[in-house]
Structure 1
Amino acid sequence: MEKTASGVQSLDRALNLLELLADAGGSMRLAELEAATGLPLPTIHRLIKSLVHNGYVRQEPSKRYALGPRLIRLGETASRALGSFAGRHHLAALASGIGETANMAVLEGDAVVYVAQVPSEHSMRMFTEVGRRVQPHCTGVGKAVLAQLRDDQVLALLARTGMPAKTTRTHTDPHALLSELNEVRDQGWALDDAEQEIGVRCVAVPLTGAPTLAAISVSGPSGRITMGRISEIVPVLQEAAARLTDDLRGDRQR
């Protein structure tokens, strides 16, 4: 049985097909999967057939393949475990009160993963979306999470991932980032000032004491989330973070 660096090759390929279906909005034709993966059509057909048999993919009358109902239970269970269900209520209040998109993210391996989000009523779409994995050095939630680690743990993580520049404002020096993380620990909040996406500012706070390393944030255009608004936003975020952390602790104890 052929293996890859991450495990069994056929499993990696099957999971990649599920990711492609999700990225495409839920359904694709076999030919589209072939073009997207570069795999031979018989290989894709064999993998899809197995996924259909197990309920993770279904075939529509149009002959397109779509995500299957068995994924619903997995998704709901994962959402509960990651705090997404508990988080949405608090994020909705944040998005309504501050008027910008509210996010929740957790540290998974060496990446930060967005596990819940409530968008603002404004039409501007940003890079964040549920399920997206990003490197922590250039996002507000990432810095808020890294600030909960020791400096040696942060340096080890950065050595594994590197610090690629997403914009001209991205930190690329680990020691400069460590200095900023010390400020985050002292002041209790983190800032992404156009470091992940030009024109976007994000203010984040850690979920200190939560069962997993996590943070919440609000993000929006720099013209709306001005530096002058940070003193208004941070206390609201911190209050929401405290309530959410209490909820997550309660869920874990049940």
Structure 2
Amino acid sequence: MKVLVAVKRVIDYNVKIRVKPDNSDVDLTNVKMAMNPFCEIAVEEAVRLKEKGVATEVVAVTVGPKAAQEQLRTALALGADRAIHVETDERVESLGAAKALAKVVEQERPQLVILGKQAIDSDNNQVGQMLAALTGMPQATFASEVVVDGNGSEGDKLKVTREIDGGLQTIELALPAVVTTDLRLNEPRYAKLPDIMKAKKKPLDVVTPADLGIEVASRVKLLKVEPPAERQGGVKVGSVDELVDKLKNEAKVI
């Protein structure tokens, strides 16, 4: 079974985000970048399937600038066998990414596609669903457990436990399928130095959107970026009556 894993380059989650002085965008100058944490979970799950003997090949793919190859090399160091980079300097929104991934799926014909449920920069939670719609594949989102029933061949079943508002839901899909990962699916491993060195020699193919016959230019115009409002300091009140008065007349929440 071939597993395709999509990864995205984002600002490291430990970094405090800065906004440009003109509020035109987020300031990326000298900012540490990393693989999206949900994508790390997706890579880990694909590698675990390979270690169990279910998956035979893990292919990592990303859509983005040349610098995104750093995240692909990270995926290779974590256990992916090869990588595909759809290189573009355009601002890629969810639909553009899904269209590019759909073309890669068409060429690679994986039995399973795993993505993080969302990226921590845009928080859209859209690409997995859009990819499933474009490819006509069944989908399972917010997966907290993934079990392949069979050897991963086309038509085999995939059982996915997913997190919903009311608790947990287990669904069964026929392969090939699209799965998006939630936080509790697994705990990603750290790349070891020998694996990082080996990753430099693993295949990494570069294509452009034009090679795939698509356009990924954004149809969304970014108007303004603002930092969140500074949190105001709290006050102490002397009685319940005073608290109720402030909530009613100052905060106006009751």
Structure holding more strand per residue: 2
* TM-score normalized with structure 1 length: 0.22
- Per the normalisation by structure 2, the TM-score is 0.22
